[in-house]
């Protein structure tokens, strides 16, 4: 007679147990993000077309490009276009920039009326035309104003989660990340993101991941890490080193929306998908261009796609003449012809994952309003925010 111990095992009993995920889903108030990976908002990049491509590869949170609160309130056409979402897109997530509480609150209310389900506040932009007005990465230095803006957004949002993104500070002598995190948590922010560079660094040098761990140890709300995530192994290393609750990916996904498939696999403990050969990259490029044409029309859609071509083909041996033609491509038919002439069997370049994309350049002193560093707690009122295009920080 067979006993239970020597009875034949079923196929299910022979299976290896499912790998344990590295992190649980990310909870932002009532919003649950199954994979704790966030697409960083980038001006002119994270539009509906790019978000669709990224979402197809992984179930993260895909944030619309930044809009300016004042411009949104005043109904500027360009800002209204930037705040648009694809039909059926969920969750609707967007980044908001502002320098005074009233316009931030009104902008939040209007976004909620349009069905937005997550709002991220930008306090990380290091651009000169932003910081010299006291905005972006300069603003958290003024703690009272920063608190008032975060509080206004959270109150106006109600049950909709508000998150806050900031940098380490202005420079190494003027760090703000711990105060910025504590204030955001005090005022009801659902999570914070730290880009672990100062404004002075811009996008140069290495991100200081240890500061992310420092912030995580200080707060009881989720802390997301941003900076130097070029491939899935970087995200895993950041989380293990810092204890972060998730990662925010910016430049690393330029021309590589499939990076989110890698990240989803890595966080689930699964093997990574194979690197795409040139033929698969070309297919992704054509789909991206078609989506842009659908949303923006033939002429503007192809024009907007030009900047993506260099990112997609970074490291591939396609030749300078092909790159030049793609930088000037004028129609979908022309794009298909140029890309159709490439060898689809060319493998992904060995060092292609770590080739820098997007913003780069040396550090530079931060432009600030006169007397900005004198008193962190003085009452300060800034002029209405400029209508700027910023990468999110």
Asked if 25 and 60 count as a contact pair (C-beta separation under 8 A), the reply is: no
Residues 106, 159: Cα–Cα separation, whole Å: 16
> How distant, in Å, are the alpha carbons of 57, 82, 163, 257 from that of 53?
7, 17, 24, 6
Asked if residue 5 belongs to a domain, the reply is: no
If you average pLDDT over every residue of the chain, what do you get? 92
For residues 228 and 330, state if they share a domain: no
pTM over 0.85: yes
Q: Give the structural domain span for 325.
A: 278-347
Give the model's pLDDT for residue 4.
Answer: 33
Residues 116, 276: Cα–Cα separation, whole Å: 34
CA angle 109, 110, 111 (to 5 degrees): 90
Q: Tell me the mean pLDDT in the region 295-318.
A: 97
Alpha carbon 245 to chain centroid, angstroms: 15
- Evaluated on CA atoms 233, 234, 237, 242, the torsion sign reads negative
Task: Please give the tally of structural domains in the chain.
Answer: 2
Give the model's pLDDT for residue 78.
Answer: 87
For residues 74 and 147, state if they share a domain: yes
| Phi, psi at 65, each rounded to 5° | -60, 160
Q: Which residue is listed with tokens 């159709």?
A: 340
Query: Nearest to residue 98, comparing CAs of 72, 75, 63?
Result: 72
Residues 147, 152: Cα–Cα separation, whole Å: 8
For residues 54 and 154, state if they share a domain: yes
Asked if residue 36 belongs to a domain, the reply is: yes
For residues 148 and 254, state if they share a domain: yes
For residues 260 and 215, state if they share a domain: yes
Asked about 54 being catalytic, the answer comes back as no
Give the model's pLDDT for residue 278.
Answer: 98
Q: Quick: pLDDT tens for 144-191.
A: 999 999 999 999 999 999 999 999 999 999 999 999 999 999 999 999
For residues 250 and 303, state if they share a domain: no
Give the model's pLDDT for residue 385.
Answer: 63
Q: Tell me the mean pLDDT in the region 347-376.
A: 90
For residues 164 and 231, state if they share a domain: yes
Domain boundary among 268, 300, 326: 268
Question: Count of CB atoms within 10 A of residue 288's CB?
Answer: 22
Domain boundary among 214, 246, 268: 268
Confidence of residue 360 (pLDDT cuts 50, 70, 90): confident
Packing angle of the helix pair 101-113, 143-157 (nearest 10 deg): 20
Asked if 36 and 246 count as a contact pair (C-beta separation under 8 A), the reply is: yes
For residues 177 and 294, state if they share a domain: no
Q: Quick: pLDDT tens for 374-392.
A: 999 998 988 766 445 455 6
Give the model's pLDDT for residue 9.
Answer: 35
Residues 155, 189: Cα–Cα separation, whole Å: 10
Catalytic annotation, pick one of 26, 37, 125, 212: 125
Q: Tell me the mean pLDDT in the region 190-195.
A: 98
Q: Which residue is listed with tokens 């696999």?
A: 265
Question: Count of CB atoms within 10 A of residue 83's CB?
Answer: 21
Give the model's pLDDT for residue 132.
Answer: 93
For residues 288 and 162, state if they share a domain: no
Residue 75 has pLDDT above 70, yes or no: yes
Asked if residue 379 belongs to a domain, the reply is: no
């Amino acid at each position: 007679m067979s006993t239970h111990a020597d009875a034949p095992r079923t196929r299910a009993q022979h299976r290896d147990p499912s790998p344990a995920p590295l992190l649980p889903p990310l909870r932002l108030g009532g919003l649950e993000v199954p994979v704790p990976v966030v697409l960083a908002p980038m001006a002119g990049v994270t539009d509906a077309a790019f978000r669709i491509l990224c979402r197809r590869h992984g179930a993260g949170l895909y944030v619309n490009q930044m809009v300016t609160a004042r411009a949104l309130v005043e109904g500027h056409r360009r800002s209204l276009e930037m705040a648009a979402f694809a039909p059926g897109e969920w969750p609707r997530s967007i980044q908001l920039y502002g320098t005074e509480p009233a316009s931030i609150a009104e902008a939040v209310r209007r976004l909620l009326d349009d069905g937005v389900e997550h709002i991220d506040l930008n306090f990380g932009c290091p651009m000169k035309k932003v910081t010299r007005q006291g905005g972006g990465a300069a603003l958290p230095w003024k703690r009272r104003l920063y608190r008032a803006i975060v509080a206004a957004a959270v109150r106006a949002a109600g049950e909709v989660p508000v998150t806050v993104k900031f940098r380490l500070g202005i420079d190494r002598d003027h760090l703000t990340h711990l105060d910025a995190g504590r204030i955001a948590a005090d005022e009801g922010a659902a999570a914070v993101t730290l880009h672990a560079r100062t404004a002075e660094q811009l996008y140069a040098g290495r991100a200081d991941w240890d500061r992310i761990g420092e912030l995580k140890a200080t707060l009881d709300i989720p802390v997301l890490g941003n900076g130097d995530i070029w491939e899935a192994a970087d995200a895993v290393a950041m989380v293990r080193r810092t204890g972060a609750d998730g990662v925010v990916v910016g430049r690393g996904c330029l021309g590589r929306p499939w990076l989110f498939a890698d990240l989803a696999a890595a966080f689930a403990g699964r093997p990574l998908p194979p690197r795409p050969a040139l033929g698969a990259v070309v297919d992704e490029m054509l789909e991206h261009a078609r989506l842009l044409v659908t949303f923006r029309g033939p002429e503007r859609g192809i024009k907007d796609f030009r900047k993506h071509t260099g990112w997609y083909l970074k490291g591939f041996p396609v030749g300078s003449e092909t790159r030049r033609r793609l930088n000037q491509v004028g129609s979908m038919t022309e794009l298909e012809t140029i890309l159709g002439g490439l060898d689809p069997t060319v493998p992904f370049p060995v060092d292609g994952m770590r080739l820098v994309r997007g913003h780069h350049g040396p550090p530079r002193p931060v432009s600030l309003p006169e007397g900005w560093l004198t008193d962190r707690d003085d009452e300060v009122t800034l002029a209405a925010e400029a209508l700027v295009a910023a990468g999110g920080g």
